[in-house]
Amino acid sequence: MAKQNSVIAFYDERMLAHEPDIEVPFLPGRMDQRVRSLLSGLGVPWKYPEHPARLTAIRHLLEIEPVPGVIFEAGAPATREQLGRVHTSSYLDSIYQLRGKSAWLDVDTTAVSPGSVDAAEVAAGTAIAAVEAVVEGRSESSFALVRPPGHHAEPVRASGFCLFNNVAVAAAHARTALGCERVLIVDWDAHHGNGTQDIFWANPDVLFFDLHRGAPFYPGTGKIEEVGVGLGDGTTVNVPLPGDVGDAVYLKAFREILVPAAEWFRPDLILVSAGFDPHCHDLAMNVSYDGFSAMTGILQSLARQQCQGRLVFVLEGGYNLISLSRGVRSVLQVLAGDQPLEPGLRGLAELEAAAAFHRNAFRSEPDASAAAPDANQDGT
């Protein structure tokens, strides 16, 4: 029997071996030429933004500021069979051939280093481990701290720093191997999860809900009309937003679109593609730590109402190391039992105290009401 609010964070150092370095020689070919010409056109030095320090920064913050109730476990590599539920066999062959090499995979600056394929297998397998922990009842919720991220990876294509679609692999595993019938995937990364949408486009048993900055922002997909097709018509829900929108809009979308959709769908499990690039430090959107906390609270309530609290977070983007690590910590605090914070209230108590302190300072007349006896003082 799981303790209420027990949380397992999955972290595995094997994912640090994915470290594309654009200064080293890559496999020669047209892709290398195209990417090199794109990068040289930037006119500024470019480093690979999706780097190992993203994970170590999170781990370090959680070491110096631990969240009570959160325990750590290592992950595991995904098998070919597990990956093959969402990627084609020929795609897997093409990725496995890159083991031990440096290569560009896509003009969307997706590259591999010699350790990347192993790291990507561990990322997808760790998302699976996080789902197993929750479905088997070892914890109410879990967080797979993984990289490379996954939600841009399509059945036959790597893109946007993503090799294998971790959250999709986890959802497929839940359905195929763990007896879950319906899985809800909520993607709050600033970018549209085009790969996840593509994988479950015609699948009525996976509801994909994605809030993102709309086109022309990368990857340019996720229009409101994209709702799925065939049997899956209606189980893709896109909410494209303008740039720089913040907590109020995100929470309104959760309360007015996601919650009714989830109550209609009745999931057995809720997965979250949790990117922290909507935080204002990443410059695309304007979500705060309290916003992540409040969104987590809504998801936790939904999960408790719909599916025994089963809630699994899988890390996606987030490139500012401070907001990435603090954003993860905000989520973990709610998962572990802290009251979700309501954005816009931070500092209000201090402000009220300051207002009371200064209240009489700028009046020319003494405040008569301050000295008058309170009409309600007689004990009502």
Residue 317 or 343 with smaller CB distance to Zn ion: 317
Q: Which of the ranges 47-55, 127-135, 222-230, 277-285 carries the binding residues for Zn ion, by CB under 5 A?
A: 277-285
Q: For the chain, state the CA radius of gyration.
A: 23
Pick the closest to residue 315 from 172, 116, 69, 147 (CA basis).
147
Residue 146 or 190 with smaller CB distance to Zn ion: 190
Q: Transcribe 116-169 into DSSP letters.
A: HHHHHHHHHHHHHHHHHHHHTTS-SEEEE--SS--TT-BTTB-BTTBSS-HHHH
- Residue from the set 132, 154, 277, 282 that interacts with Zn ion by CB under 5 A: 277
Instruction: Tell me the C-alpha distance between 19 and 114, whole Å.
Output: 8
Place of tokens 């394929």: 117
Question: How far apart are CB 11 and Zn ion at their closest, in Å?
Answer: 20
User: For the purposes of burial, counting CB atoms within 10 Å of the CB of 199, is it exposed (0-12), middle (13-18) or buried (19 or more)?
Assistant: buried
Q: Which of the ranges 6-14, 28-36, 215-223, 312-320 carries the binding residues for Zn ion, by CB under 5 A?
A: 312-320
Q: Respond yes or no: is residue 152 known to be catalytic.
A: yes
- With beta carbons less than 8 A apart as the criterion, state whether 26 and 32 touch: yes
Task: Show the binding pattern over residues 227-266: x = contacts Zn ion (CB under 5 A), - = does not.
Answer: ----------------------------------------
54 makes contact with Zn ion (CB under 5 A): no
Task: Show the binding pattern over residues 160-189: x = contacts Zn ion (CB under 5 A), - = does not.
Answer: -----------------------------x
Residue 174 or 315 with smaller CB distance to Zn ion: 315
Catalytic residue among 87, 152, 173, 279: 152
- Residue from the set 191, 213, 279, 326 that interacts with Zn ion by CB under 5 A: 191
Q: Which residue type, as a one-letter code, is found at position 271?
A: L
Question: How far apart are CB 285 and Zn ion at their closest, in Å?
Answer: 10
Question: How far apart are CB 184 and Zn ion at their closest, in Å?
Answer: 20
- With beta carbons less than 8 A apart as the criterion, state whether 236 and 223 touch: no
Angle made by CA atoms 196, 197, 201, in degrees to the nearest 5: 125
Task: Show the binding pattern over residues 316-335: x = contacts Zn ion (CB under 5 A), - = does not.
Answer: -x------------------
Structure tokens at 271: 């997965």
- Interface positions with Zn ion (CB under 5 A): 189-191, 275, 277, 317
Residues assigned a catalytic role? 152
